[in-house]
Amino acid sequence: MESVQAIKQRFEIIGNDQVLNRAVEKAIQVAPTDISVLVTGESGVGKESIPKIIHSLSHRKHGKYIAVNCGAIPEGTIDSELFGHEKGAFTGATATRNGYFEVADGGTIFLDEVGELPLTTQVRLLRVLENGEFIKVGSSKVQKTNVRIVAATNLNMFEAIKKEKFREDLYYRLSTVEINLPPLRDRKDDIHLLFRKFAADFAIKYKMPTIRLEDDAVELLQKYQWGGNIRQLRNVAEQISVLEQERSINGAKIKGYLPNIGSNLPAVISEKKKESDFSNEREILYKVLFDMKSDLNDLKKLTMKLMESGNLKDAKDEHEGLIQKIYGEDDDEQDIEDLNDEELNILQIPQNSSKEKEDKYYFAEEIEEEETLSLQDKELELIKKSLERHAGKRKSAAEELGISERTLYRKIKQYDL
C-alpha cells in the first residue's frame, strides 16, 4: 500500500494538515473495497481528488472512471444522462442512449454535488446502490450494473434531510464511509505552500518570473477567511502573476486582491440554501389577522356594553385600554362624546341630537357574529398571488411559498385553479 505522502505527490495534493492527511489515509484504506463513499466539505476544497485516489487504488482501476456534476444537468434530463433512455421515450429521443451507469459497468462513477439530485432520481439511485439494478427511461426492462459509487456534496446533509430535499435512506447508503476535507482557513500553514505552487505553475504558463510573497503578505493570507477555499486562492495567485509588474509582493499590494479584507468578521460560508422569506411574511400576516380578530371581539364587547347601559362614561372606564389602543396614547382625556363622525362610525354609533345621546343609541345594523378568519381562504389567496407573480410557473411559485412543487400541484387541483 502506498504511503500518504506518495499519494499526495502523485495526485498533486499540497499541504501537511492533519485532517487533510487523515482524509487521504481513509481514501487509501477504503479503495480496495467496493463500499460507497461520501466526500464532504465546502465548495473549492478539492473534493474531486478523493474519488480519483479511490479509483486508481481499487481493483476497478482498469475500468472506466466517470465524473458527473449532478448540479449542472437539468432536472428533466438527469435520469436520461444517468440511466439512459429508449428511442421515442420523450420528445427528441431519436435513438436509444446508454446512460453513465451502463457505460461505467465495472468501473467507478463520481457523483459530484449529489445533494442537488431531484427526489425521483434519488429513488432510482437508491435501487442501484441496493441491488445494482436500473431501468432506462421509457423502458420496462430491468438491467444490471456493477459500479462503484463515490459521491460528494458541500451541503449540510442533515439539514437537507430535515427539509425533505434528500432521502435519509439514500444518505446512509452513500455514506458507508464519509471523508471530510477541511476548509482552507483551517489549514493556515498550508496556505503559503499552495500559493507558491500556484505561482510556479502560472510562471511557467505565462512565461514570466515567479511571484514571491514578503512576510507581511504571507501573514495577511493566513489571516484571511478564504470563503472560496483553494479555488479562490488559485484565482488570486493567477491575478497577481498576470497583473503585477514587481515580482515581490508585500501586504499592501495583496490587499487589493482580497475582498472584504477590512472586516475582521469571518467570511459567510453558506452550507444551506437560504429559505424563502415568503414563509416568514405569511406567518406575520396570520399574526396580524388574528390580532385583528381579537380587536373585533373587543369592539363587539364595547358596543354591547353601550347598548345595554347607554352610559358612555362607564363604557369608557371599563374599556379604556381598548380605546387607547384604537385612538392612541394621547387620547386619554378625549371623551367618547367628542369623537368625530369617522370615529363614531367605527363603533357604529350615529351622531344624533343631544337629547338622543343622553338616552339611547341607534346602531346602523345588528352586530354580526365574529368574523371568520379562514386559513384555507388565506392559503388560496397566497397561492393565486404567487402564481400570478411568476406567470403561472409552478416551480418558482412553490419555491416562493416554501412548499414542494408536488404539494403546490395538489393544492392547484384542490382549489380548481
DSSP 180: E
Q: Which domains does the chain have, with CATH numbers?
A: 4-182 (3.40.50.300), 185-255 (1.10.8.60), 278-359 (no CATH), 375-415 (1.10.10)
Give the residue from 97, 63, 64 showing the smallest Cα distance to 83. 97
- 290's CB contacts (< 8 A; 6+ apart) are 373
Q: What is the pLDDT along the chain (417 residues), one digit of tens a residue?
A: 679 999 999 999 999 999 999 999 999 999 999 999 999 999 999 999 999 999 999 999 999 999 999 999 998 899 999 999 999 988 888 999 999 999 999 999 999 999 999 999 999 999 999 999 999 999 999 999 999 999 999 999 999 999 999 999 999 999 999 999 999 999 999 999 999 999 999 999 999 999 999 999 999 999 999 999 999 999 999 999 999 999 999 999 999 999 876 544 444 444 444 455 556 666 677 667 777 777 777 777 767 766 666 665 665 566 566 555 555 544 444 444 454 554 445 444 444 444 444 444 444 344 444 445 566 777 778 888 888 888 888 888 888 878 888 788 777 877 777
Class of residue 17 by CB neighbours under 10 A (exposed 0-12, middle 13-18, buried 19+):
middle
Classify 217 as helix, strand or coil: helix
Distance CA 43, CA 112 (A): 11
Question: Is the four-CA dihedral 281, 286, 287, 289 of positive or negative sign?
Answer: positive
Distance CA 112, CA 44 (A): 12
Give the residue from 188, 158, 184, 180 showing the smallest Cα distance to 171. 158
- Asked whether the beta carbons of 109 and 68 are under 8 A apart, the reply is yes
DSSP assignments along 286-354, one per residue: HHHHHHHHHHHHHHHHHHHHHHHH--HHHHHHHTHHHHHHHH-GGGTT--GGG--HHHHHHTT-----H
pLDDT of residue 363: 42
pLDDT of residue 378: 75
Query: Regarding beta strands 108-112 and 148-153, do their DSSP bridges make them parallel or antiparallel, or are they unpaired?
Result: parallel
Distance CA 174, CA 160 (A): 15
pLDDT of residue 313: 61
DSSP 137: B
Which residue type sits at 409?
Y
pLDDT of residue 399: 82
How far does Cα 400 stand from its chain's mean position? 13
Residues facing 213 on adjacent strands = 249
pLDDT of residue 310: 61
Provide the whole-model pTM. 0.63
Left, alpha or beta for 138 (phi > 0: left; psi -120 to 50: alpha)? left
**In Å, how far are 27, 93, 134 from 77, measured between CA atoms?**
31, 11, 16
Side-chain-side CA neighbours of 57 within 13 Å: the count stands at: 24
C-alpha cell at 25: 489515509
C-alpha cell at 91: 420528445
